[in-house]
Amino acid sequence: MSRRNRRQFLEDSMFAAAAAAVAAHSSEPMYAQEPQSKSPSERLNVAVAGVNGRGGSHIGAFSMGPGRKDTVITHIVDVDSDIGNRRAGEIEKRQEGVRPKVVEDVRQVLDDKTVDIVTVATPNHWHSLMAIWAMQAGKDVYVEKPVSHNVSEGRRAVEASRKYKRICQVGTQCRSNPGMRQFMEYVQSGKIGDVKVGRGLCYKRRDSIGPKGEYEVPAAVNYNLWSGPAQILPVTRQRFHYDWHWIWAYGNGDLGNQGIHQMDLARWGLGVKELCKATFSYGGRFAYEDAGETANTQVVVHDYGNKTLVFEVRGLKTQPLKGASVGVIFEGTDGYAVSTSYNGGMIFDKEGNQVTKFAEGDDKFHFNNFLAAVRSRKLTDLNADVEEGHLSSALCHLGNISYRLGSQMTADELDKKVIANLKTTDNAKETLERTVAHLKDNGVDMSSTKLQAGLVLPFDPQSETFQGNEQANAMLTRDYRQPFVVPPAGQV
């Protein structure tokens, strides 16, 4: 083992041990720990939309039962009737006989004046529209990340919250965890010097989703309602649920799936409250051919002038970077900070010695923060207001737009034609070299394989539009299918 490799091995081992210590402080959600209203007249009626995946956590958070007395789930919205009815049975047991009504169409819930809150855990392409509709109907909203499927509709959700004076929290739950809040305060305190780079990581193994073909829609699924804002398209993936993440019409790849959490953390730590001045991305879908369309290996570079937000997606087998696989790294002039969890992180000096660590929190803090804001009616009480969610989600979309508008290049061409001229506070050449080495480690022949090299796209964070590229601007929204249309600016 070379001296450099041995040093890296020892460093990574140290980080892994520290990360395990942080993770050990996590606990299962215990919603009874927070103060709650005990008056039945103050009980909030909740409709949960989308209950196959993350919606299960919403059920745990808002079901009336031993741990929760101030909310009750009165409605389940799911276009898969089998899943909706199964979940309703589970909720009935949790709520001691109170069974929620199951509907396929969220509009039935919006017309019900008894519903106070709508939570949204549907596929991404429904998030903004459902949140907007709910706020227009006078409901408060908890919407899962990403808040949007494209940049424009995320801003429209912010407009709806402000116009209708509705509370809208985004499911970036790290923002409510006490340990993460302490970690971010330290990062921004100047104690690790001037933080020039925030690096988000989504090193999360994603195997092939199977061959592209034409598959049947599950019999229990209302495909018209499932498609919603998207055009009615053939089903080209074997697994109907979840694998929509890797199809552009519905998902945003891992950048906008797992990665939105770490994108949000990276932006938070850098202290930036707007979108970037320019964006650039490269990568590809390597090592297998399947029905997936999104990248399984991707680097995104967001230019903030004197700061850079870098994001790395790796869906193939890989080693951690500074102990982090799914996490963030902040690179300061006097040290660095590493988060490998949702509830905190570790601080290191320039020599790699651990200075301190933070670890506290779980999902209950975020759900309870939302309910506290619903009762106070103060947007400022929210830890993840819809605008925060919009900005971080939009950064994912901007990277994907650059990537999709790119062309094929060898790694050497990418280095010489783009990376060498890139304005960034990151060592972009080193990031590319690590990415290429990662692909080689997974058996990708880089002598014959090209990467998708995206366009370097200047961006105006005030108007939230690209400068001088109408093709890119067209991708800030989508071709909506009637009647599932997000209103344009000023018409929410």
Q: Model-level pTM?
A: 0.93
Q: Cis check for the bond before 146: say yes or no (omega within 30 of 0).
A: yes
What 8-state DSSP symbol labels residue 165? T
Going by C-alpha positions, the residue among 422, 142, 174, 205 that lies closest to residue 310 is 422
Q: Which residues contact 97 (CB under 8 A, 6 or more apart)?
A: none
Return d(Cα 359, Cα 131) in angstroms, integer.
32
Which amino acid, one-letter code, is at 254? D
Percent of the chain with pLDDT over 70: 92
Helix (H) or strand (E) holding 200: strand 195-203
pLDDT in tens, 404-444: 999 999 999 999 999 999 989 999 999 999 999 999 999 99
Torsion of CA 369, 374, 379, 385, to 10 degrees: 60
SS3 for 215? strand
Phi, psi of 326 (to 5 degrees): -110, 105
SS3 for 328? strand
Return d(Cα 233, Cα 231) in angstroms, integer.
6
Q: Cis check for the bond before 211: say yes or no (omega within 30 of 0).
A: no
pLDDT in tens, 84-108: 999 999 999 999 999 999 999 999 9
User: What average pLDDT does range 439-463 have in this prediction?
Assistant: 98
Return d(Cα 58, Cα 68) in angstroms, integer.
12
pLDDT over threshold 50, residue 15: no
pLDDT over threshold 50, residue 18: no
On average, the pLDDT of the chain sits at 93
Residue 42 pLDDT grade (very low, low, confident, very high; cuts 50, 70, 90): confident
Q: Which residues contact 186 (CB under 8 A, 6 or more apart)?
A: 192, 337, 347, 356, 358
Return d(Cα 245, Cα 434) in angstroms, integer.
26
Task: Determine the pLDDT at residue 35.
Answer: 57
pLDDT in tens, 288-328: 999 999 999 999 999 999 999 999 999 999 999 999 999 99
Phi, psi of 210 (to 5 degrees): 95, 170
Residue 37 pLDDT grade (very low, low, confident, very high; cuts 50, 70, 90): low
